[in-house]
Structures are given as structure tokens and as C-alpha cells.
Structure 1
Amino acid sequence: MKKLMTATLAVAFTASTGLIAQTPSSLNERISSATRVVDEIMHVPDGGIPDSIVSKATCIAVIPSVKKAAFVVGASYGQGVVTCRTGHGWSGPVFIRLAGASFGFQIGGQATDLVLVAVNDKGFQDLLHSKFKIGADASAAAGPVGRNAAAATDISLKAELLTYSRARGIFAGVDLNGATVSQNTDDTRLFYGGGDVSYPEILHGNVRTPSAARRFVSTVARYFRSTR
């Protein structure tokens, strides 16, 4: 019964969001929100993403204001963007969706920002797939917090994705196992002017970053510098 109710909520929540037609302006707003999330979490005093993870991150996914619907069983849905490290900086962004049962990260029903950090090439490859489930198709762990977190190295060796949440000013690792991440090709195509661009082309840095995304990309590049 719980599974049925969760599935029903997820479908209804996704469908209701899909009814809202996206425009270049709404996509720009999503990019701006993602930029704000990155900037704010990296300014958390002694409580941000550890330097050892920052330096080896291969991709960053930011999903601002994940929404929650609840009726006995909860369901959550969010839309965000991904950029990946290339040989000449960080790529232009692509758009993604995240959906699944309530993961226990919400605080009092408030919308929550999520950040996924791919820490190796396998994590990068996961984000090239049209759809994957965290914990099943891609190994994940709640990310350690603190600039010099000693556990960071051990955790990143065992996972492809490190996952974080932020609500009410609290930034912490979160368990997102069971959540599904899928490509939002319609929004990505619209953002890049309606052309036939592929996720691999964009995330490998072969497509010029649109002007509306340059601040987001430069913000990620400023904080996620490689020491290799």
C-alpha cells in the first residue's frame, strides 16, 4: 500500500510540475538559483564541502528548492543543473530532474536545496545516462562536511556520488538512495537555442556555454579548483 501511494504521489507531483511550460526566463532563473546555492554553501564557516572532495570533483549537480508533497507517505521532486570538469575548465550546464520518495532530508516540509558531487569518472559517466537510480545504478553516500573532514577520502573511495542537502541554513550530508535522476532534454534543448545538442557533447565541454550560464560556471570553477 505504501509503495502504491508513494508512486501515485510521485506521478501526480511530476505531472503537475510538467504542466508549467518552461521559458528561457524560467531556465535562467533556475541557473541563478543554482549559482546562489553554490555560493552560499561554500561560504558556510568550517562546514562546507571538504577541500579533498572539492579538488577531485568531476561533476556538480545542483537542485535548488526540492519540493515535497505528503499524504501519509511523502514524495519529492526537483529540477536542477549539472556541470562537469573538462580539460579546459567546467562545461556548460545541462538540466536534470530528481524524483523519489521522501528521503528524510526535509525539515518541517520546507523546500530543500540538494547538491550531488561526482568524485570519479564513474560518477561522471552516470550523469551521461538518460536516467539512473541513486544507490542502485550509481553508488552514493552522504557527503562529509567540514573543510578538512578526515573521513572525506575514505568515503569518496567507496562512492561515485556524494550527496548533500541544505534547509534552514543547515548544510549536511544526506541519504538519497532510491531517488531517480533523469535528463531534462526539453529544457536543455530550449536553453541552447533549440539545437540538437547531446548531454555528452555539452558535459565534455564541446558546446559553447550560453551567456546566461557563465556566472554559474565561473562560480563552480572558483570554488572547485583542482590541485592535481
Structure 2
Amino acid sequence: MRNIRMVVTVLVISFIPLFSYAETKWDNLLRESAKVFDDMANMPDTGIPSSLLEDCYAVAIFPSTINGGFIIGGQYGQGVIVARDKKTDNWSAPAVFNIFGGSFGWQIGGQAADIILLIMSERGLDGIMQSKLKLGGDIAVSAGPIGRDTQASIDLQLKGGILSYSRSRGLFAGIKIEGAAIAFNDSANKSLYGKSSSARDILIKQTVKPTKSADRLLKELKNY
């Protein structure tokens, strides 16, 4: 009997950490977003130019966005946006957003693609926070340059729009997205942070403290 009690005690102690912190699907989304950013930004000679990341207002990362259709198709995905305070250079906590509708590139059948958007202007970030932004309609969206094409990077920065990148089945390139909309996911953010916060609270005012699951993503952004 004594041995049984000891075994039960050990099992209870072992499982206490599991009950003290249960990760949600949104924590997993943050970790997956960090991996996608790390993979796509740091590709040798074909990654995202560091000069663009240094000057952008925010970065949007949508892992495993579902695409479908023949030439004209649609997409849906969930991801995060992280904004930078231009005065302090500090990155905000990630805010969860949805991307849906529209079409991009030549596509046949259905596939999942990772998408990164560099938001190069304050106007673009404001539009996204208000959930009123339509890519290619309300603001210009262009296929982002890759590698060390400095001149292309400078030209695109001057446009002040959004630069888009995509990776699917191992292929990585700048890609043009048309007609897609991006919207703040209120319920997801409430679940992630335990309280109701607006996109402006998270991204601009930075009154929301990042979760532990955001550590890798914020570290990758700072290092890059």
C-alpha cells in the first residue's frame, strides 16, 4: 500500500506543470509563425532583404494559408502581425489576424502556403488595424524582392505599400496578392491574452504583454 501511495504521489507531482500551463492553438500559431519567419528571412542569398525589415512598420506572418482554384482562386488563413515602435525600435506583442478572399499568382488545385507581408507605411498599418484594408485596392501590394537586390529594395520602400512573400512546397519568392482582406481576430486575441484588447492596444500602444510563446518570434525579429 505504501508503494502505491508513493507512485500516486510521484505521478501527481509530475503532472502539475501540465495543469499549470496549457498551451492553446494560438500559442502554437505564434511558435509556427516564428519558424516560418526564421526559414523565409534567413534563406542564403534568396531571403528577405534586411534593409526592408529595418524600415518596415510591421510584419505579418500567415503560416499554412490554404489556397485553392485554377488561376482564379481564394485563400484563408490565420496568422499574426507584429508592429515596431519607430521611436524606441521595440516590437509589440503579436496580434492574431485572419486573411481571406482574393487570389494570388498562378495556382492550380489546392495547396498550403506560408505568407509574409512587410507593411512599409503607417497608412497601411492603420488600415489593417481598422479591418478595412483590401490588398491591391486600398493600398498597393507588390511582390517583394529577394536576396541582396538593394536598388529594388530602395525603389519599393519609396512606394510605401505592402511587400509580399510566399513559400509553398519548398519554393520561395515574392508574390503579388490581389483582393485579399485582413481582419483582426478579436476572440483569438482574447483567448491568447486573457482579456479583450483592440489591435491598436496591442500593436501601437503596446499595453499588452507578450506571452512566453512569443519569445522566439520577437527574438528573431530583433536579431534580424
Q: Deviations over 1:71-104 (max 9, x none)?
A: 7952211110000002251000101111113312
Q: Deviations over 1:107-145 (max 9, x none)?
A: 763310000001122222222212310011222111111
- Counterpart of 1:197 in structure 2 is 197
1:126-141 superposed matches below 5 A: 126-141=127-142
Q: Within 1, Cα distance between the matches of 2:127 and 2:158? A: 16
Q: Deviations over 1:27-82 (max 9, x none)?
A: 11111110001110122111111122121011000000111233795221111000
Q: Within 2, Cα distance between the matches of 1:103 and 1:35? A: 23
C-alpha contact (below 8 Å) 1:156/1:162 kept by paired residues: no
The letter for the 2-side match of 1:200 is R
Q: Within 2, Cα distance between the matches of 1:84 and 1:101? A: 24
Identity of aligned residues (%): 35
* CA spacing shift, 1:216–1:105, aligned 2, 3 Å: farther
Q: Within 1, Cα distance between the matches of 2:119 and 2:72? A: 29
- Counterpart of 2:4 in structure 1 is none
Post-superposition shift, 1:186? 0.8
1:69-88 superposed matches below 5 A: 69-70=68-69, 74-86=73-85, 87=88
* CA spacing shift, 1:66–1:105, aligned 2, 3 Å: farther
- Counterpart of 2:181 in structure 1 is 180
* CA spacing shift, 1:24–1:52, aligned 2, 3 Å: same
C-alpha contact (below 8 Å) 1:63/1:115 kept by paired residues: yes
Secondary structure at the counterpart of residue 75 of structure 1 = strand
Secondary structure at the counterpart of residue 89 of structure 1 = coil
Secondary structure at the counterpart of residue 208 of structure 2 = coil
1:5-154 superposed matches below 5 A: 24-70=23-69, 74-86=73-85, 87=88, 89-104=90-105, 106=107, 109-154=110-155
* CA spacing shift, 1:105–1:51, aligned 2, 3 Å: farther
Which stretch has the larger CA shift, 118-127 or 40-49?
Answer: 118-127
Post-superposition shift, 1:159? 3.6
Normalised to the residue count of structure 1, the TM-score between the two structures is 0.80
The letter for the 1-side match of 2:208 is V
Q: Within 2, Cα distance between the matches of 1:68 and 1:122? A: 27
Q: Within 2, Cα distance between the matches of 1:156 and 1:165? A: 19
Q: Deviations over 1:152-177 (max 9, x none)?
A: 11112114211111112222111112
- Alignment: residue pair count: 200
Q: Within 1, Cα distance between the matches of 2:140 and 2:74? A: 21
* CA spacing shift, 1:123–1:136, aligned 2, 3 Å: same
Structure ID, larger Rg? 2
Post-superposition shift, 1:106? 4.7
Normalised to the residue count of structure 2, the TM-score between the two structures is 0.82
The letter for the 2-side match of 1:84 is A
The runs of 5 or more residues in structure 1 that have no matched partner are: 1-22, 224-228
Which stretch has the larger CA shift, 146-155 or 39-48?
Answer: 146-155
Q: Within 1, Cα distance between the matches of 2:89 and 2:182? A: 26
The runs of 5 or more residues in structure 2 that have no matched partner are: 1-21
